[in-house]
Amino acid sequence: MTLDRFYPIFDSADWIERLVPLGIKLVQLRVKDAAPDTLRDHILRSKAVCDAHGCTLIVNDHWSEAIDTGCTYIHLGQEDLDTADISAIRDAELRLGISTHDKAELDRALALEPDYIALGPIYPTILKKMKWHEQGLDRLTQWRGLIGDLPLIAIGGMSVERAPGAFAAGADVVAAVTDITLNDSPEDRVRAWLAATR
């Protein structure tokens, strides 16, 4: 399965319903601290709009809910790996993406035979407090050499302007969060991303 080069990440179905119809073909739903019913509602709404527009939906963290709602893809951070039931994920034939920040985490991720590897933050990010400093483009090139043909996602401080450098360094896909959601016109920013990555 080939992943689209543009990978926005949103924290609600509201964003996904608003922006996926513009032509997004790969999107992550990253809902934190929601009640079970609310989480399920966000997943089902996101899945409906993605199915209608030929977009691949990736559910962050909530692997059990992803299985229950018939989703096909999940993304796990390193902390999520501590508690996730990898056997159940495999039995459900869910595709799996994993976040990495250093060589030990990469080794752990590769041992699980994921469908893609994410590296970040490439640039400083305002999204969340992280113990990891910016990785830089050289680390992307290093990861490219270590993971073979696996898709490599660049995340963290990414923008339309920085995307070409990430692709040149070895990324297959660039993920964006605040570059879209904090923009004065998220719709225009998505259109700019699509133009830059197609």
Q: Does the pLDDT at position 152 exceed 80?
A: yes
Strand, coil or helix: 94: coil
As a whole number, the mean pLDDT across the chain is 95
Of 130 and 144, more confident? 144
Sign of the alpha-carbon torsion through 105, 110, 111, 115: positive
- Residue-range domain boundaries for the chain: 6-197
Give the pLDDT of residue 134: 87
pLDDT tens readout for residues 39-86? 999 999 999 999 999 999 999 999 999 999 999 999 999 999 999 999
**For residue 198, what is the enclosing H or E element?**
none
Give the pLDDT of residue 47: 98
pLDDT tens readout for residues 72-123? 999 999 999 999 999 999 999 999 999 999 999 999 999 999 999 999 999 9
Region 6-197: CATH code: 3.20.20.70
Give the pLDDT of residue 131: 67
Within 10 Å of residue 19's Cβ, how many Cβ atoms? 21
Give the pLDDT of residue 125: 76
Alpha-helix residue ranges (DSSP H) falling in the chain: 13-19, 36-52, 63-68, 78-83, 86-91, 103-111, 136-147, 163-169, 178-181, 186-197
Q: Does the pLDDT at position 163 exceed 90?
A: yes
For 44-53, give one letter per residue: b (16+ CB within 10 A) or e. Answer: ebbbebbeee
Q: Give percent above pLDDT 90 in the chain.
A: 93
Q: Give percent above pLDDT 70 in the chain.
A: 96
